[in-house]
Amino acid sequence: MSRYLALLRLPGALRAALPAALARLAVSMISLALLFALVGAGHTYAVAGAVGGAYAVGMAAGAPIWGRVADRRGPSLPLGLCGLAVAAPLAALAVWPRQAPPLLIALALLSGLLSPPVGASMRALWTTLTPDPAARTTAHALEATLSELLFVVGPAAVGGLAAWGSPSVALVASATLLSTGATGFALSPAVRASRPATPARGGVSGTRPRLYRPGGLVVLAAIGLTAALSSALAVAVTAYISTGGRPSSWAGPIIALESVGSVVGGLWYGARVWRGEPVRRYLWLLAVLAAGAAALPLTVLVTGPLTSPTGLVLVAALVLVGGIPIAIVGTEEFSLIGDLSPAARRTQAFAGVGSVIAVGSAAGTAAAGAVADTLSTRDALFLPAACVILALVLVAAARRVLRSDLAAAVTAAAHHRERITA
């Protein structure tokens, strides 16, 4: 843990990381809080799902825009304004949940559009705070692990608040955390001291650097596929358990074990210094993730149904072990995006990753549901592994492009630093 403690002792790091974690905790709570509040107000699950979907679409569309503004103007002002503004439509949803569905969808869409990209901004801040590549890897591991942990704590907090008070209380608490965390992050000394990076004008044209090189687009596609893993697994495991005669609610604790494994793996990975060529390391990690994802469906294929109490214990163990590489792979993916993106557009680049993750997760959910309905729930268990294998094949096929772009990005960054300090 010494590497994590050293990271948080960097000037301004802790005062930025704590409110950022609060804001990201709120993001992990809002979708479920919306569902509880709207169903509790008498709306159907279809309406609640549409409202939650509108919020997700708004976030996916708005995050890259606010990331671009933060890169051009500095992060403090746009994040602070978004942090204050987003509280209004979320509070309206909490106070007036019985309104007509079109109005609720519009408010949710606006909430998503105004949601500040705190996670992307914190990742961009780490790239300026950390003194060396090994420390940056630890920072990305911390972020990936924290994301997994928050998506365990957040839904549990929503359930507790809804039981203690009401679903609307849970939504108001989520909005308050988001607003407080975002404004606290925006006002932290490290964020206020951040200045827009001078764009490295390229070639004769003098145009702004590209947001993503071809190698970066390959990594983005792989990120979308690995994001589909967890959402597809959640649907597949739930469907498999329920068709085996067990309550679907039993799937919840089993699915949560994936995040537990991911937290353990991420903490272990970030606490060490890793050498070697990054693309090769990424390929090996994708292979390990694919093997972990394939363990459950292959076991079911060989042994037959695992819906007895003993079988479900085995399912839980396989899900736990399969989750260990998830945050590790995420660490390498964000490291690659950070290395491939220009400093002048890094927040936007990280925000774009968040949008890709949202799209990938939604696609994984839809695909797993379709496979479970049209083929079988056992076949749906193979989908998470198929997504990772496709990502592995894609990265392996484009590994030369990825390596070339990484080398070019390192050279461009070095020339940019020389020009600034000259």
> pLDDT of 90-123, one tens digit each?
999 999 999 999 999 999 999 999 999 999 999 9
Q: How confident is the model over 10-35, as pLDDT tens digits?
A: 999 999 999 999 999 999 888 888 88
Do 237 and 288 fall within a single domain?
yes
Give this prediction's pTM: 0.84
In contact, 327 and 262? CB cutoff 8 Å: yes
Please give the sequence-ordered ranges of beta strands (E in DSSP) within 47-198, or none if there are none: none
Q: What is the pLDDT of residues 324-380, one digit of tens each?
A: 999 999 999 999 998 888 878 888 889 999 889 888 888 888 888 888 888 888 899
- DSSP-derived secondary structure for 290-358: HHHHHHHHHHHHHH----SHHHHHHHHHHHHHHHHHHHHHHHHHHHHHHHHS-GGGHHHHHHHHHHHHH
Tell me how far the alpha carbon of residue 256 is from its chain's centroid: 16
Decide: 368 and 235 in contact? Cβ < 8 Å.
yes
Judgement on whether residues 184 and 229 belong to the same structural domain of the protein: no
Q: By residue range, what is the domain housing residue 175?
A: 13-117+155-193
- What residues does 202 pair with on adjacent strands? 207
Based on the structure, what is the number of domains in the chain?
2
Better-scored residue on pLDDT, 288 or 302:
288
- Per the domain annotation, does 141 fall within a domain? no
3-state secondary structure 186-219: HHCHHHHHCCCCCCCCECCCCECCCCCCHHHHHH
Q: Are residues 112 and 180 in the same domain?
A: yes
Report residue 249's pLDDT band, with 50, 70 and 90 as the boundaries. Answer: low
Is pLDDT at 204 greater than 50 in this prediction? no
* 222 and 321 part of one domain: yes
Residues whose CB is less than 8 angstroms from the CB of residue 51 and which lie 6 or more positions away in sequence, other chains included: 34, 38, 93, 101, 104, 105, 108
Q: Is residue 138 part of a domain?
A: no
